[in-house]
Structure 1
Amino acid sequence: MKKILLLLTCVIGMLVANAQTDNKPVKIYNVEANAKADLDKAIAKAKKENKNVFVQVGGNWCVWCIRFHDLVDATPELKNYLNEKYETVLVNYSPENKNEETLKRLKNPGRFGFPVFVILNGAGEVIHIQNSAYLEKGNGHDPKLILDFLKNWTVAAVNSK
């Protein structure tokens, strides 16, 4: 009985300690964003600047989505390459906003899990859907695999002979 009481006390103590930590929710994806308008704006800009559009679909609930975003932010080579070669849009998928029409427009990429990446050309056509699991190595996304993927879907790469 003493062991059970001790175990119960430890569990309650851990729960109380965890509840008191400052766990601010991550807000990378804007749940209230108008995904259609965001995509249309990015497509127009991409067409004007001869770029493709990189769409990251996921949600604030998705630890791998957050990790990918943080990795890109912390890796200047990735961040700069994305900014130079693509227009980037984050499309939220969550219980609060499933963006069903936008995801249908993007050919339902969620079937590959989250995050999932969609490449659009300047006309707004889906030219590739990437399962992010193929960009992982070891315990997370691999910067080299990500950069190789991005290089393969630029306007120049897609239009090369």
Structure 2
Amino acid sequence: MKLFKTSITVFFLLIVSNVFAQNEVYNPEADAMKDIQTAIKEASKTNKHVFVKVGGNWCSWCKLYAKFSHNDAEISKIMEDEYETVLVNWSKENKNKKAMEYLGYPNRFGYPVFVILDGSGKVLHIQNSAYLESGKGYDKNKVLMFLKGWTVKALDPANYN
């Protein structure tokens, strides 16, 4: 009976963690440029940067990053406090060519790839997510260093005088 209860608990936890990661779904039918422009407007109003995640539902590393970032309170807080987030789908159904051009063809680095935009829409940085990996997952310290290094505050020269 104890083994049965343990098995049920483990099964439930696996379901919950997978559902949590499924909250982040790339939509092949979404208008990526419209979503980016909306995020830029919001970032401009809220003094944040835009964090663009380019990937697809087919991408295991995209799903892994979603689960990793949503399940970590510190990373989730930085994302909420410092960035407006946009998911840009790249798949055989929709390669979002206009968005890829606008973002500087970040897909050259593989998937997922992260692009940081300022409140005016200027591309500040394209991050190859492979540099944030460690083993079969993502390295929390590397991800935090990356996220903290591209905030509005981090790029403000007044903080260094």
User: What's the TM-score once normalised by structure 1's chain length?
Assistant: 0.82
Q: Partner amino acid for 2:93?
A: E
SS of residue in 2 equivalent to 1:60? coil
Structure 1 position 159, deviation (Å)? 1.5
Q: Using the alignment, how far apart are the partners of 2:25 and 2:120 within structure 1? A: 26
Identify the residue that residue 153 of structure 2 maps to in structure 1: 156
Q: Using the alignment, how far apart are the partners of 2:80 and 2:28 within structure 1? A: 23
Q: Using the alignment, how far apart are the partners of 1:137 and 1:159 within structure 2? A: 30
Q: Using the alignment, how far apart are the partners of 1:117 and 1:72 within structure 2? A: 13
CA RMSD of aligned residues (A): 1.3
Identity over aligned residues, as a percent? 51
Identify the residue that residue 41 of structure 2 maps to in structure 1: 44
* Residues 1:82 and 2:52 aligned together: no
Please list every run of 5 or more consecutive structure 1 residues that lacks an aligned counterpart in the other structure. Answer: 1-25
Q: Using the alignment, how far apart are the partners of 2:27 and 2:77 within structure 1? A: 22
* 1:64 alignment partner, one of 53, 61, 65: 61
Identify the residue that residue 114 of structure 2 maps to in structure 1: 117
Structure 1 or 2, whichever has the larger Rg, is 1
Structure 1 position 39, deviation (Å)? 0.4
Q: Using the alignment, how far apart are the partners of 2:39 and 2:67 within structure 1? A: 21
Please list every run of 5 or more consecutive structure 2 residues that lacks an aligned counterpart in the other structure. Answer: 1-21
User: What's the TM-score once normalised by structure 2's chain length?
Assistant: 0.82
Runs of at least 4 residues off by over 3 Å: none
More divergent stretch after superposition (73-82 vs 112-121): 73-82
